[in-house]
Amino acid sequence: MRKHVALLLILFPMCGHLLNLKFYNDPYKYTWADAEAFCRENHTDLVRVRTAEENTALQYSGWIGLSRKDATSPWKWSRGGEITIFTQWDGGEPDHNENCVNRKSDGKWESKGCGEKRNFLCYEEKLILVKENKTWEEALEHCRSLNGVVTEDPASSYWNHDYDLVTLITPKDYTTAREIAQNATTDEVWTGLCNLAGEWLWVGGEEMQYEDIPKCPTEGLCGVLEKNGTAPYGIRNCQQKRNFLCSTFN
Ligand SMILES: *[C@@H]1O[C@H](CO)[C@@H](O)[C@H](O)[C@H]1NC(C)=O
Ligand SMILES: *[C@@H]1O[C@H](CO)[C@@H](O)[C@H](O)[C@H]1NC(C)=O
Ligand SMILES: *[C@@H]1O[C@H](CO)[C@@H](O)[C@H](O)[C@H]1NC(C)=O
Ligand SMILES: *[C@@H]1O[C@H](CO)[C@@H](O)[C@H](O)[C@H]1NC(C)=O
């Protein structure tokens, strides 16, 4: 039970992610869907903006990774289909028949037709294999301490970390992660897949994309990636010790 509370403390401030982001500014003009495809193939995804600080840091005008299916659907980030909490709409926005989002040079957001061609920004995530055998929680702590910020307060260390246990969303994420995992000394590596009060989620904040994942029992179970397997995830006792993958924006 105590462990559960500690995990809650770490995970609770998840929605206000403060990261040191560096972005790729691509000079091409692409439709929103083409921009997403470009970013997913050549980098990680279209840029995601979760806080006012991140939005200010962008200094850029063009597509961001936010869109919706239609006027009655929620606005979701391309990465992981995460429903947006933070928004920075300009006055009168969004328009009810425009479903993709452009960031203007003054930082305000406006909806635009998804077929318009615009600049866009991709972001890049890098993976690091740690060849040490640790429990899931030790692995999480290790990743989050990689930038040197370790404090007594789990919430504040959360706010400062640049690294996290890896989140795997796109097919390219899996390909890259499996390639890097080949050098692990264990057959499976921990990923950032964890459960909180019976809900599976990625520790980086993305929604869980697999609906077939067992709902119970989940107590004490965490996610792994099998080096040689084809399954997107495996579920193991969090106390087992194995290598793990950390990720960071680069
Ligand atoms: C990835 O980048 C290459 C080289 O810039 C480009 O030719 C290719 O079309 C890009 N991939 C996608 C899916 O846009
Ligand atoms: C981790 O565990 C694997 C498999 O049990 C073992 O081969 C490897 O030597 C261990 N690595 C370390 C650093 O202890
Ligand atoms: C695995 O380790 C070898 C030797 O250190 C290195 O040359 C290779 O690039 C590594 N492979 C991956 C996918 O990181
Ligand atoms: C995984 O694949 C590698 C290379 O094909 C092989 O050497 C290794 O024995 C395999 N490991 C398992 C657990 O099947």
Q: Which CATH class is domain 5-124?
A: alpha beta
Q: What is the mean pLDDT of residues 186-207?
A: 87
Which atom of ligand 2 lies closest to the CA of 133? 1
**Is-same-fold flag (5-124; 126-248)?**
yes
Going by alpha carbons, the residue nearest to atom 4 of ligand 1 is 42
- Domain 126-248 indexed as CATH 3.30.470.20: no
Q: Which amino acid is at 60?
A: Y
Burial of 39 (0-12, 13-18, 19+ CB in 10 A): buried
Domain boundaries defined on the chain: 5-124, 126-248
Give the angle 145-149-150 at the CA atoms, nearest 5°: 70
Query: What is the per-residue pLDDT for 201?
Result: 85
Tokens at 128, concatenated: 């690091």
Expressed in angstroms and rounded, the spacing between residue 28 Cα and the centre of ligand 1 is 11
Mutate to test the pocket of ligand 1, among 38, 46, 63 (most ligand atoms within 8 A of CB): 38
Going by alpha carbons, the residue nearest to atom 8 of ligand 1 is 38
Mutate to test the pocket of ligand 4, among 178, 183, 185, 227 (most ligand atoms within 8 A of CB): 227
Residues β-bridged to residue 66: 77
Expressed in angstroms and rounded, the spacing between residue 189 Cα and the centre of ligand 2 is 12
Mean pLDDT lowest among 5-19, 87-101, 179-193, 204-218: 5-19
- pLDDT tens per residue across span 91-112: 999 999 999 999 999 999 999 9
Mean pLDDT lowest among 68-72, 137-141, 158-162, 229-233: 158-162
pLDDT band, residue 209 (cuts 50/70/90): confident
Are the C-beta atoms of 110 and 94 separated by less than 8 Å? yes
Three-state secondary structure of the chain: CHHHHHHHHHHHHHHHCCCCCCEEEEEEEECHHHHHHHHHHHCCEECCCCCHHHHHHHCCCEEEEEECCCCCCCCEECHHHCECCCCCECCCCCCCCCCEEEECCCCCEEEECCCCCEEEEEECEEEEEEEEEECHHHHHHHHHCCCCCCCCCHHHHHHHCCEEECCCCCHHHHHHHHHHHCCCCCCEEECCEEEECCEEEECCCCECCCCCCCCCCCCCEEEEEECCCCCCCEEEECCCCEEEEEEEEC
> What does the alpha-carbon distance between residue 114 and residue 36 come to, in Å, rounded to a whole number?
11
Its pTM stands at 0.76
- pLDDT tens per residue across span 116-160: 999 998 888 889 999 999 999 999 989 988 865 444 444 433 444
